[in-house]
Structure 1
Amino acid sequence: MEYFSVVQSLCRIGLESPTPQFRKQVERLRDRLVADGDEKSAAALSRLLAGGASEQTMAPSAVEVSRSLVTGDELTSNVHPPSDRETSVALAEVVLEPGAGKPAPIFTETLQIALDAMLNEWRQAAALRAAGVEPSRSCLIYGPPGTGKTLSAFWLASQLRLPIVNARIDGLVSSFLGTTARNIANLFSFANRYRCMLVLDEFDALAKMRDDPHEVGEIKRVVNTLLQNLDGRANTGLTIAITNHDTLLDSAVWRRFQNHIRIDLPDERTRISMLQTFLTPLEIEEDVVKALAFIVGGRSGSDLKNFTDALKRVLALGAVKVSSAVVIEAAKSLVPRMGIDTGESSPGRLFVEDEPSFVGALLSSGLGIKQESVATMLGHSQPTISRYRKEYAGRRAN
């Protein structure tokens, strides 16, 4: 089903506080997917429906379950985190409402399944304990920059209605001997005192390999302190660590985290969903969005947001009515200055320099873009577009 990730997200949001009518429509959609043979998408909706029913049944005790999992005093606006003794820089910031002011993340289907599984453990700790196991309490999120790792951590906390103690690397790391290790101990002591999720962003700054020949002896003391404090927090609260540089992490650090989630660049379907969301409130045809996704290629969510913001600026300054042709022309002016791949045979280079080959590649991309849509975008007749397509296919055959 095309754009199923968007449909799934809408269903998930609706099922958090469902009406009987909304639930019935989700069930109808699931049944139609089954009839169409899309068992994978139907199963995903079935999991959402089952989860929604479970949450309704357990709603009165959901908070109590969470309190048994994450202990401590309540964080309020009057609570101030500790600071570095020498510089007085705070070791963390307290975020009481992690979801406030942040966009709803758009996850790939695989990532959504992984995050939902973690949430299900944390929300139903009592059921796991009845089976003789504890829910996992820690997660290491890693992957390329700009892929939404921090946003995912904040989303998890908002789903659990937990405040965040967000570590500040500029406060933790000190040039004074022994101070960084002391700051780490103070940070964990503070987080362990309160009901919260501890988020350790830029984690590689604290957890580098102890046998790295480029590091001084101080890093060994820092990592040892970090390991001890991670062990001490293992039964106290939830901990999320985030890094762009997983290859730099000490091997012992990985064992301290029960979940390891890699967030890669978004897949094609997710990129299209992101572009559709980021282009709001502009009304842009679906085939144009698909063409833009093809042009920008494998980019991070952050890169896609920068691209759509730049596109909006160009369109706003152009002071013309937004149309398919206008959007594509504006995008063409952005390719040379937005870091889009313009290597040989890349969609970005073809888009700017070789329109006939671009048309052929776009229509052969499997995105399902209609030939008449491409003609409208580029201001050509359909016979011209058809000729470009045939010429491209002929060159590829040879």
Structure 2
Amino acid sequence: MESFPRKELVSVIQSGMTGSRSAFALAVGRFATKLKHTDLPLAQEIAQFLSAENVMRGAGDFVPAPVDADSRMELVETIFPVVVPKRPVFNGTVQDVLDDVLKEWRSLDVLIQEGLAPARMLLFCGQPGVGKTLAAYWLAQELKLPLLTLNLATVMSSFLGKTGNNVRAVFDHAMSRPCVLLLDEFDAIAKRRDDDTDVGELKRLVNVLLQALDDWPANALLIAATNHGELLDPAVWRRFDHVIQFEPPSAELIETYLADLPMEEKVRKNLAALLHGESFSGIGQLVNSARKTALLEKADLVPTLVKNAVRLRMSKGNMAKPQEGEMLLMYLAGHSRREIATSMGKTHPTVGSVIKRYLGE
């Protein structure tokens, strides 16, 4: 016969006296799970208190943000509710992991009652503009939680010891109620401690950070994002439930991203192929710029967008067939197809084919 779960009961009492709401709930869940073997009715009675509503209580409460002692500037920016106007587009691997995280959080009751926690800490790696920050916003929106973003410029202090104090203050603030905490440019505060060029203060900062990560509760989600994963201290990697690598979008993903724009399918496909190599952030800026230009100049959106895309790719030397770009720019500047053919030394049908592929009928 199973013995009474004394160890788990002690953990419950300890968490209740010293821990967070979520730590207490996890301890109670582990106790109830063990208790099922000796007293099932009592275990079921205890488990009924372990609801997501109880664990996540206080998510929308307003709590003043901590400030830097010297500048008096806030150390975090808070957004609630979080609204992402357009569903983000991620590759299959990234989307699968994000969906799994959401599934765990939406099943919080089931996990907590068994003494288990959902994924609490995610590390996003990848080049700038590939969707790391957008993914954090989207998760906060889907979980209906406040998004807290660390203000790195304010947190990093020139005074010895102050940066560590600021980081600790941010974590204490974030752990005070359910939220999503985004640590952008994570490598700035989690840099390898074996870098001899760094002063001791930065190494002490990593120690403070590691302790804060170990204390992170189960009813809040921490997301760290970095463009330079190779700079992170090895001990940091082990703290995360998932490490997600964000890649530049493929032509197929760009085509999906452009799906809500009014254009022929073949035009969208060719435009996506033209923009392959650009980040989602860059493409989004390109689309917004084209929309504003088309609105103010009372012009059609698709030709304006194609013109901007061609100019961008040619300025970077990344257009596979520069002559096609020159043809398109001449046509969009008002030159006839015959004029373009004569200038470029091409046949009239060749020029017409290029224009049709990028601009449609």
TM-score (norm. length: structure 2): 0.71
Please point out which of 36, 52, 68 is paired with 1:84: 68
1:208-219 map, 5 Å? 208-219=191-202
1:119, distance to aligned residue in structure 2 (A): 0.8
Match of 2:325 in 1: 352
Please point out which of 274, 278, 281 is paired with 1:302: 281
- Relative distance call for 1:125 and 1:75 in structure 2 (3 A) is closer
- Relative distance call for 1:207 and 1:308 in structure 2 (3 A) is same
- Relative distance call for 1:114 and 1:235 in structure 2 (3 A) is closer
Q: How many residues align?
A: 289
Match of 2:242 in 1: 259
| Superimposed CA distance per residue, residues 55-107 of structure 1 (whole angstroms, 9 cap, x where no aligned partner) | xxxxxxxxx7544655x644434x211101011111112222122x6432122
**How far, CA to CA, are the matches of 1:244 and 1:289 in structure 2?**
30
Quote the RMSD (CA, aligned, Å): 3.1
Match of 2:144 in 1: 161
Match of 1:202 in 2: 185
Q: Does 1:147 align with 2:120?
A: no
**How far, CA to CA, are the matches of 2:142 and 2:351 in structure 1?**
52
Indicate the SS of the match to 1:287. Answer: helix
* 8 A Cα contact 1:66 1:122, kept in partner: no
**How far, CA to CA, are the matches of 1:213 and 1:170 in structure 2?**
23
* 2:237 alignment partner AA: W
- Relative distance call for 1:307 and 1:213 in structure 2 (3 A) is same
* 1:84 alignment partner AA: D
Match of 1:268 in 2: 251
1:341, distance to aligned residue in structure 2 (A): 4.4
Q: Does 1:115 align with 2:98?
A: yes
**How far, CA to CA, are the matches of 2:237 and 2:178 in structure 1?**
24
Q: Does 1:335 align with 2:310?
A: yes
**How far, CA to CA, are the matches of 1:332 and 1:265 in structure 2?**
22
| Superimposed CA distance per residue, residues 188-221 of structure 1 (whole angstroms, 9 cap, x where no aligned partner) | 1111111212221221111111112332111101
**How far, CA to CA, are the matches of 1:125 and 1:76 in structure 2?**
20
* 8 A Cα contact 2:286 2:308, kept in partner: no
Unaligned runs of at least 5 residues, structure 1: 1-63, 356-377, 387-398
Q: Does 1:170 align with 2:153?
A: yes
* 1:269 alignment partner AA: E
Match of 1:94 in 2: 78
Range with greater deviation from structure 2 (330-339 or 195-204) = 330-339
* 8 A Cα contact 1:274 1:304, kept in partner: no
| Superimposed CA distance per residue, residues 231-288 of structure 1 (whole angstroms, 9 cap, x where no aligned partner) | 01154532111112211111111111111111111122210121233x4xxx321211
1:332, distance to aligned residue in structure 2 (A): 4.2
**How far, CA to CA, are the matches of 2:206 and 2:171 in structure 1?**
14
* 8 A Cα contact 1:294 1:347, kept in partner: no
1:147, distance to aligned residue in structure 2 (A): 1.3
* 1:76 alignment partner AA: D
- Relative distance call for 1:229 and 1:339 in structure 2 (3 A) is farther
**How far, CA to CA, are the matches of 1:91 and 1:75 in structure 2?**
19
* 8 A Cα contact 2:186 2:224, kept in partner: yes
Q: Percent identity?
A: 35
**How far, CA to CA, are the matches of 1:323 and 1:132 in structure 2?**
54
Indicate the SS of the match to 2:181. Answer: strand
Match of 1:240 in 2: 223
Indicate the SS of the match to 2:259. Answer: helix
- Relative distance call for 1:381 and 1:234 in structure 2 (3 A) is same
Name which one, 1 or 2, has greater alpha-carbon Rg. 2
Match of 1:26 in 2: none
